[in-house]
Structure 1
Amino acid sequence: MENHSRKKVLITGGAGYLGSFRVGELLKQEDTHVVVFSRDELKHFNLKMQLGDLSQRVDFVIGDVRDEDRLAEACNGVELVIHAAAMKQVGTCEDNPTECYKTNVLGTENVIHAARRSGVRQLIFVSTDKAVEPVSVYGNSKQAGERLVLKSNSPEFQASVIRFGNLIGSPGSIVDKLSKLNAGETITLYSQELTRFVDSLDNARQLIYAQMSRDFGGVIMIPRLRSVKVADLVSVCAPLIQVKFGGERGFEKIHEKLATKNELSRMCETEDFYLITQEALAQDGALDKFGALPVRLLAYDSETAEEFSTFEELRAGR
């Protein structure tokens, strides 16, 4: 494994789907201590049981990102914060917009303030394609979180964003919902043309490691992803259920984007991922500063992106 070590790392939402995976990965580095910060005591207990003896290098801190002072306590001695805590269910956020903004916007502001108060040197914010030209409360809240993080970046406090697609199998995701349906049951999709970017945990791990190892902030990192028609996804994951098509939901899109038209003009690429900078850079400047080269994409959306070519690839998440 490459060396991306930080002596002490705090993960907000660290007992959740992506966070708990990151905890296990970080603990493979023998000199790393992890702080798991979240408000769900049952998930803390389950993760502690799952980690076994490795849990001796983990501090399990019950707390809410709405509480800046509690965050500051948890940040003591921490070098890197991975901010993954959020309200994520699109429908729930629509029904509870005030609570969504308290967690996803004010909570992110609290994470930034607490980290800077405590001398943390690096912050990585976990975002989503729904933050790009958002149409939902959730998407708007994550867009605001991205802006707060990028605005906080400085030489002393390297703050960056990683923007993912839909993580395969995460709680509440389409794959998770399909796994809970029985043969003959019906799922309703609001459009037959619905497409989404899909991402794997392993790809997410590699992207986070890539930014951990870099000596700069102020950027948005996005993976190279392929897309899938959601109707095809249903056929792969639950071939025995029925599909019904209904009207569009006002807070969801037919297709998702991973970059806006404006961001495409500031995009660079490496072999493994894309990088959105705060200003357009000449080739030499981008190469010198980021080890990347400018790229000129006309779009990066799930409608025009390369699709998975076979059901076998999709099952494997490749």
Structure 2
Amino acid sequence: SGKLPTRFSVVRYGNVMGSRGSVIPLFMKQRESGVVTVTDPAMTRFFLTVDQGVKFVIDSLFTMIGGELFVPKLASCTIADLAEAIAPGCEQKIVGLRPGEKMHEILIPEDEARLTLEFPRYYIIKPTLPFWANTAAELNGKRVNKQFSYASNTNPQQMGVEDLRNLCAPFLEQAPEAQQQLCPA
């Protein structure tokens, strides 16, 4: 109660499945017509569930020193595979990139590699603050190489259609009538 200094840290992660603006409800709605719109079949994104996001934030609260940025190790996928998982057999209409939209998501760009430490389930991007020079996190984390970047297209943990179906199952179960209206083969 006022005796401890306030500390701030940041979490940076990918798309939260089922959140406002998520493509999942859009694909579920579009599959009723038999056609889902896909920006580019090779486009990739990181995905996590709400529960994964909440757990990561809570874990970060217990780990934080202050000033650092936490990035979880997540699975990524192509948008085409996500569309196929949610709307199997539907036509995928390619609509192209919108202005400002990127083909791939980058959670840690190469220019932040010099500040990045790797841990088993996450990365920490260190702040350039003097008190961070010899912290416990510095001693336990492994420095990434100077050319490192954490991008959805080069992520070694890629989800396929079946993985995505399993991950999306709770959203599909919320709309059982929509689940019955799968696209014709």
Question: TM-score of the superposition, structure 2-length normalised?
Answer: 0.76
Query: Is the alpha carbon distance of 1:205 and 1:245 closer, same or farther for their aligned partners in structure 2, counting shifts above 3 Å?
Result: same
Q: Secondary structure at the match of 1:171?
A: coil
* Equivalent position to 2:111, from 258, 262, 270: 262
* Equivalent position to 2:77, from 225, 228, 241: 228
**For residues 65-76 of structure 1, what are the structure 2 equivalents within 5 Å?**
none
The residue aligned with 2:183 is none
C-alpha distance in 1 between matches for 2:136 and 2:108: 21
Query: Is the alpha carbon distance of 1:286 and 1:263 closer, same or farther for their aligned partners in structure 2, counting shifts above 3 Å?
Result: farther
Query: Is the alpha carbon distance of 1:234 and 1:307 closer, same or farther for their aligned partners in structure 2, counting shifts above 3 Å?
Result: farther
Query: Is the alpha carbon distance of 1:222 and 1:200 closer, same or farther for their aligned partners in structure 2, counting shifts above 3 Å?
Result: same
Provide Cα deviations, 1:51-101, integer angstroms capped at 9, x if missing partner: xxxxxxxxxxxxxxxxxxxxxxxxxxxx8xxxxxxxxxxxxxxxxxxxxxx
> Is it true that 1:305 corresponds to 2:161 in the alignment?
no
C-alpha distance in 2 between matches for 1:251 and 1:120: 45
Provide Cα deviations, 1:134-189, integer angstroms capped at 9, x if missing partner: xxxxxxxxxxxxxxxxxxxxxx2211110010111212211121122343432322
Question: 1:212 is aligned with what amino acid?
Answer: L
The residue aligned with 1:163 is 12
Q: Secondary structure at the match of 1:285?
A: coil
Q: Secondary structure at the match of 1:180?
A: helix
Q: Secondary structure at the match of 1:205?
A: helix
The residue aligned with 2:165 is 315
The question of whether the paired residues in 2 share the 8 Å contact of 1:183 and 1:241 is answered with no
The residue aligned with 1:275 is 124
* Equivalent position to 2:66, from 198, 202, 217: 217
C-alpha distance in 2 between matches for 1:157 and 1:239: 49
> Is it true that 1:183 corresponds to 2:8 in the alignment?
no
Extract unaligned runs of 5+ from structure 1: 1-78, 80-118, 122-155
Query: Is the alpha carbon distance of 1:223 and 1:290 closer, same or farther for their aligned partners in structure 2, counting shifts above 3 Å?
Result: farther
**For residues 61-210 of structure 1, what are the structure 2 equivalents within 5 Å?**
156-210=5-59
Deviation of 1:202 (Å): 2.6
Provide Cα deviations, 1:272-305, integer angstroms capped at 9, x if missing partner: 1110001499xx9354557423222622111111
The residue aligned with 1:8 is none
Structure ranking higher on relative contact order (CA contacts 8 Å, 6+ apart): 2
- Equivalences, count: 165
* Equivalent position to 1:285, from 108, 128, 134: 134
> Is it true that 1:248 corresponds to 2:97 in the alignment?
yes
**For residues 20-39 of structure 1, what are the structure 2 equivalents within 5 Å?**
none
C-alpha distance in 2 between matches for 1:224 and 1:162: 12
C-alpha distance in 2 between matches for 1:293 and 1:280: 19
The question of whether the paired residues in 2 share the 8 Å contact of 1:184 and 1:240 is answered with no
The question of whether the paired residues in 2 share the 8 Å contact of 1:265 and 1:280 is answered with no
Deviation of 1:264 (Å): 1.4
Query: Is the alpha carbon distance of 1:266 and 1:242 closer, same or farther for their aligned partners in structure 2, counting shifts above 3 Å?
Result: same
Provide Cα deviations, 1:250-286, integer angstroms capped at 9, x if missing partner: 12111110012121111112221110001499xx935
Q: CA RMSD in A?
A: 2.8
Q: Secondary structure at the match of 2:8?
A: strand
Q: Secondary structure at the match of 2:66?
A: coil
Q: Secondary structure at the match of 1:197?
A: strand
C-alpha distance in 2 between matches for 1:120 and 1:190: 51
Deviation of 1:208 (Å): 0.9
The residue aligned with 1:55 is none
Percent of aligned positions with the same letter in both sequences?
Answer: 27
